[in-house]
Amino acid sequence: MDRTDILIIGARTLIGRRLRDLAPGAIFTSRQDLAGNTVYLDLGRPEDFRPDKTFSQVIITAPMWLVSDSLLQRLLSLGMRRLVVFSSTSVFTKEVSDEPAEREVVQRLLAGEKTVTDFCKATGVAGTILRPTLIYDEGLDDNVSRIRNMIEKLGFFPVCGPACGLRQPVHARDLARAALQVLPADATHGKSYNLSGGDSLTYREMVVLVFAALDRKPAVVPLPEWVWRLGFGVLHLIRPGQALKQNLAMAQRMNCDLWFDHTPAKQDFGYAPGTFKPDF
């Protein structure tokens, strides 16, 4: 594969950072870091994007809701014939969330997916949508690293009830590798894939493994749902507009299975995610 023919949009995302290691010959875009093989791109003004060369292959790791028709048209004019974009399995797990903000994110993701699908059908560009599960990258993500931060701050980790819902954490490195595997795979054209990690763990088991990665004795404290409900209610009164992950629905999902089969990805482009072994 000619990696100098690859444009990767989103140099500073979790997956984009890993792609910099795996595809050093590619060109990356960013609104901030312009060092080395990085060019400036404002996704809100794609008409101003004028790189020094054209690209037939594009990987977009930026948020799906930033993928507009005008951006895709601009990339088409620059030679794009192959497109890989990242969405999220949240389109399935948060569609009926009690939190309006989470439902809004789902609608934005779905709208972005529809934009990509409609564009590819209309132009003949070979597109593929990848939907990761819980993404982690030690010290950088808002999932596993958030658990680590709370353990280091409190010395224990509170969970909602038994925290028995299944999780499949997937490392950003595995997702970056998957994007590169997808590019030359004709079987993936016009398809969407759920990309889960190599292990299926309960939420509690995942937390215990984070304790182990920190060389600490597990101290998982189960709290009933009413305590979480009360706690978040007070938190939102004191600090309205908290981040999406800090809400009751997040705690309730600790007991919901967020499990996705990645067999189609394995069959079509050799997807092989690693096991969950965080290394801080």
Confidence of residue 228 (pLDDT cuts 50, 70, 90): confident
Task: Compute the radius of gyration of the chain from its Cα atoms.
Answer: 20
Across all residues in the chain, what is the average pLDDT?
Answer: 92
Q: What is the pLDDT of residues 70-115, one digit of tens each?
A: 999 999 999 999 999 999 999 999 888 878 888 999 999 999 999 9
Q: What is the β-pairing status of strands 201-202 and 166-167?
A: antiparallel
Exposed e or buried b for every residue in 87-117, given b needs 16+ CB within 10 A?
bbbbbebbeebeeeebeebbeebeebbebbe
* SS3 per-residue string spanning the chain: CCHHHEEEECCCCHHHHHHHHHCCCCEEEECCCCCCCEEECCCCCHHHCCCCCCCCEEEECCCHHHCCHHHHHHHHHCCCCEEEEECCCHHHHCCCCCCHHHHHHHHHHHHHHHHHHHHHHHHCCEEEEEEECCEECCCCCCCHHHHHHHHHHHCCEEEECCCCCEECCEEHHHHHHHHHHHCCCHHHCCEEEEECCCCCEEHHHHHHHHHHHCCCCCCEEEECHHHHHHHHHHHHHHCCCCCCCCCHHHHHHHHCCCCCCCHHHHHHHCCCCCCCCCCC
pLDDT attached to residue 244: 43
Lowest mean pLDDT among 46-60, 97-111, 169-183, 206-220: 97-111
Decide: 52 and 96 in contact? Cβ < 8 Å: no
pLDDT attached to residue 33: 64
Lowest mean pLDDT among 44-58, 174-188, 236-250, 263-277: 236-250
Distance CA 270, CA 263 (A): 9
Q: What is the pLDDT of residues 172-197, one digit of tens each?
A: 999 999 999 999 999 999 999 999 99
Lowest mean pLDDT among 197-206, 219-228, 239-248, 253-262: 239-248
Contacts of 176 (CB under 8 A, 6+ apart): 15, 16, 18, 19, 21, 22, 23
pLDDT greater than 50 at residue 243 = no
Decide: 194 and 89 in contact? Cβ < 8 Å: yes
Q: What is the pLDDT of residues 19-41, one digit of tens each?
A: 999 999 999 999 886 677 899 99
Q: How far is CA 11 from CA 70, 78, 279, in A?
A: 20, 19, 23
233 compared with 83, residue with greater pLDDT:
83
CATH superfamily of 3-269: NAD(P)-binding Rossmann-like Domain (3.40.50.720)
- Give mean pLDDT, residues 203-209: 98
